[in-house]
Amino acid sequence: MKKQKGEMSTKLLMSLSALFMAVLGATASFLPQEIAAHFGIRADFHAVLLLQIVGALYLGFAILNWMAKDVLIGGIYSRPLALGNFLHFAVVSIVLLKATAGGFRAPEIFVATAIYSFIAIGFGRVLFTGPRAKPS
């Protein structure tokens, strides 16, 4: 099978999502007070703990995607991996869109919404279509 024009390879999608989540995870794990201060949240013990836990989740998801970037994904192949990624990116996209519609106007939220939506669409395509054959 030939790759269609404009079609993102699953390796690129997995790599981009892994790198994006690794950056978010490392930032939340090691700079929770700074993140809280940036968004006007009181950096008490609970907020810092929650941000560090979320950072660990992102780092775990990032390494999962990075290690699976060469796996055949699509249709029934690696369906749990594709479904988990699609669910994460789609739900966060919806939450961010709801926040912006509700009046939360921060440039980084608009950028995050665009990135999350783009990756969600990519995983949606992977999840609901068959795998693409690798060129021989």
pLDDT per position as a tens digit, 101-131: 998 888 999 999 999 999 999 999 999 887 7
How far apart are the C-alpha atoms of 75 and 101, rounded to whole Å? 34
Asked if residue 135 is part of any domain, the answer here is: no
pLDDT per residue as tens digits for the range 25-55 = 999 999 999 999 998 999 999 999 999 999 9
Dihedral sign of CA atoms 82, 14, 116, 41 in order? positive
pLDDT at 5: 43
Asked if residue 5 is part of any domain, the answer here is: no
Asked if residue 52 is part of any domain, the answer here is: yes
Asked if residue 82 is part of any domain, the answer here is: yes
Asked if residue 32 is part of any domain, the answer here is: yes
Other C-beta atoms closer than 10 Å to the C-beta of 62 total 20
- Per-residue pLDDT band for 93 (boundaries 50, 70, 90) equals very high
Assign 15 to helix, strand or coil.
Answer: helix
Asked if residue 23 is part of any domain, the answer here is: yes
Question: What is the number of structural domains in the chain?
Answer: 1
Whether 123 and 73 have beta carbons less than 8 Å apart is answered as no
Give the range of the structural domain holding residue 44, as residue numbers without chain letter.
10-128
Both structure tokens of 75: 């249709």
Both structure tokens of 36: 């809280």
